[in-house]
Amino acid sequence: MSQLETTDATPIFVDAKGLKCPMPVIKLQQQARVTRPGSLILIACTDPGAEKDIGSWCKVNKHEILEVKNSEYGCEITVKVQGALQNQTQ
């Protein structure tokens, strides 16, 4: 999932379809940790609570939600990553 080579204008896609709380937020957090500040992440979710959960997570972590679109399967949320890149190994 590492996307250090992605340009800031090209969203990094995270597929969280079929995942229930708290997994969409966890998948987003994992990607945000290895993503360059200023980059965009597009997360696709089927969990009806994902929009609220991701909004809360973004507020706490100072990331910015740019867009929320409804889709045939749920929603797509575009997040702009803020802050410093964390170099973590798991």
Taking residues 38-57, report their average pLDDT.
97
Residue 38, CB-side half-sphere exposure with 13 Å CA sphere: 6
Catalytic residue list contains 21:
yes
Q: Identify the pLDDT of residue 9.
A: 79
Taking residues 26-30, report their average pLDDT.
98
Q: Which residue has the tokens 């802050």?
A: 83
Q: Identify the pLDDT of residue 83.
A: 78
Of the candidates 21, 45, 58, 75, the residue annotated as catalytic is 21
Read off the pLDDT band of 84 (50, 70, 90): low
3-state secondary structure of 76: strand
- Residues ≥6 apart with Cβ < 8 Å to 14: 1, 27, 28, 31, 41, 42, 43, 44
What is the C-alpha separation between 86 and 18, in angstroms, rounded?
28
Which carries the bigger pLDDT value, residue 90 or residue 69? 69
